Structure 1
């Protein structure tokens, strides 16, 4: 899995989905890197991303019956991962939600397969955990069981403001709150390893900034 994680970091950098510099996060922090899965917006990169998700899920050993993608990014991620899983011999159904309930046709907020059995929630990252909480509520309301959350990158970052940082990261809080594993294709440690060992001189120059950020906010 360590090779897969490093391949994913390199792939994200090449696709310019993972960038380095100075970026302001939702929490108002100045981060030396930025990851935006929405930039996987062509067929080739989305297909490769889905294969990373599928390989990571299968390697995790988590038992699952279907996938769920929270609107909006999760919709594409869950559907693409279902295609990748089918290509690997694991045909899996999927569903996603609408932000607004539909009052005609089939109605409701859930689109796709009926939520049933053990469901894996697929998203890009976990920041505040809001979309996961909403997804868990919808899955349980349908009588199904949330089995895990699968994300692309775990920033391994404590939430809260300077001077009042939480003890755990958003990912750890979600896992603890719902009693389900949160699986990531890669995490901040993998990113740091890439910058330390695999990247060229240009990217390697960002290593110290990432290390300082990890020391200040990391778990």
Structure 2
């Protein structure tokens, strides 16, 4: 019980450190943003704004640490085009730095008809494949990655993301009673590891550290109460 409690404390600390890092990097922003589902969200996470070497290196550390703490086993990493490509590459580098050297691959959206051809680049897809992505909105990218991995004869095993928004997914324009992460876990059978969740963000926004972030807590909480799972 003590070990489990220590692990929970460490996971919570990692999540809070990550949320703080995302806010300070300008990647996690507050205001009014329209989501793919047409909702007006009081916050927006744009992993494309991890846009320099220092930020990407720190981001990879968070991914690697979350994976190590999760206990998820995998044989290689895969980055779905496009945001998943630099994520898979930098996470593979960080894992190797920590003594866990694994192959990585990614896909291109356009089929190449010269050179090696095809849509896959990097190491051959084989064994238990870990998909590395930023967020999961509808599970569409995960399904596409699963199809590519299975077609190559490998096993789609798990997904690691930076932020789990913990909100209802939409199907045919209608809200459903599960999130994209829950869908991937329950319907597609993959393990999912998230560095942080919306609950972690709300916990962070409860603090009054002089930065003014606490002013956003009420709106984010109201959003979760309306769309959360």
CA separation of 1:191 and 1:198: change in aligned 2, threshold 3 A: farther
Deviations, residues 31-78 of structure 1 (Å, cap 9, x unaligned): 110000000010000000011011111111111010000000000000
Asked whether the equivalents of residues 163 and 194 of structure 2 are also in contact (C-alpha less than 8 Å), the reply is: yes
Q: Distance in 2 between matches of 1:85 and 1:197?
A: 32
**Contact conserved, 2:138 with 2:170, CA < 8 A, in 1?**
no
RMSD: 1.3
C-alpha distance after superposition, 1:165-196 (max 9, x if no partner): 21101111111121111110000000000001
Give the unaligned 5+ runs of structure 2.
Answer: 1-10
| Structure 1: 5+ residue stretches without partners | none
* Aligned mates of 1:199, 1:123 — CA distance in 2: 30
Corresponding residue pairs, total:
218
The CA deviation at 1:200 is 3.2
TM-score between both structures, scaled by the size of structure 2: 0.92
Alignment partner of 1:211 is 2:217: no
Distance 2:62 2:43 in 1: 21
Question: How far apart in 1 are the matches of 2:199 and 2:36?
Answer: 21
**Structure 2: distance between partners of 1:19 and 1:188:** 13
CA contact (8 A) 2:79 2:107 kept: yes
Aligned twin of 2:99: 89
Q: When the two structures are superposed, what TM-score results if normalisation uses the length of structure 1?
A: 0.96
Alignment correspondent of 1:170: 180
Give the whole-Å Cα distance in 2 for the aligned partners of 1:115 and 1:151. Answer: 20
The CA deviation at 1:25 is 0.9
- Find the counterpart in structure 1 of residue 148 from structure 2: 138
Q: C-alpha deviations, 1:130-150, integer Å up to 9, x for none?
A: 111010011111111111000
Q: 1:111 to 1:201 in 2, by over 3 A?
A: closer
Question: Retained in 2: the 8 A contact 1:62–1:147?
Answer: no
Structure 1 position 152 matched with structure 2 position 178: no
**Counterparts in 2 of 1:1-219, with a 5 A limit?**
1-160=11-170, 164-197=174-207, 199-200=209-210, 202-219=212-229
Structure 1 residue runs of 4 or more that deviate by more than 3 Å after TM superposition:
198-201
1:73-93 C-alpha deviation (Å, 9 max, x unpaired): 000000000001011111111
The 8 Å contact of residues 63 and 160 in structure 2, kept in 1 or not, is answered as yes
**1:160, CA displacement in angstroms?**
2.6
Instruction: Give the drift of 1:164.
Output: 4.3
State the Cα distance separating 1:159 from its structure 2 match. Answer: 1.8
